[in-house]
Amino acid sequence: MNFMANQTPVPPPLKPGVRPTVDDGGSVVAERKTLRTQPPQMYQVVMLNDDYTPMEFVVVVIQEFFHKDRETATQIMLKIHLDGKGICGVYPRDIAATKVQQVQDAAREAGHPLQCLSEPVE
């Protein structure tokens, strides 16, 4: 079966006595403005130094939860050790909160007092 049209479509006829209206310039036209959403506020996950958590545990945690290679994780761990704190990653608020909770849960399970927090990026 072939359903192709043989002729171009014709607009429906107007009712008798009805003419198309001409714009008199008094019309009101609403303009649509493009709305741009702002990117989400980002939070940095910061690990704090303590004198009891082994450095190797900190490296493993950074590798596991922040998906860093061993060399980068070691550099972050040394920054934490020398400066008292180090940034492990920057994420939207909910993801940063989840990362903090994962780190704290892993530290508690291993018996270490490792502290981790998230703070807004300035």
The DSSP result for 2-18, as a single string, is: ----SS---PPPPPTT-
Q: What is the CA radius of gyration of the chain?
A: 31
Query: What is the pLDDT confidence band of residue 31, given thresholds at 50, 70 and 90?
Result: confident
Which helix (H) or strand (E) segment is 85 a member of?
strand 85-92
SS3 111: coil
pLDDT at 22 over 70: no
Give residue 74's identity as a one-letter amino acid code. T
Paired tokens of 11 = 């607009």
pTM higher than 0.75: no
pLDDT tens digit string along 60-99? 999 999 999 999 999 999 999 999 999 999 999 999 999 9
Rounded average pLDDT over 108-115? 97
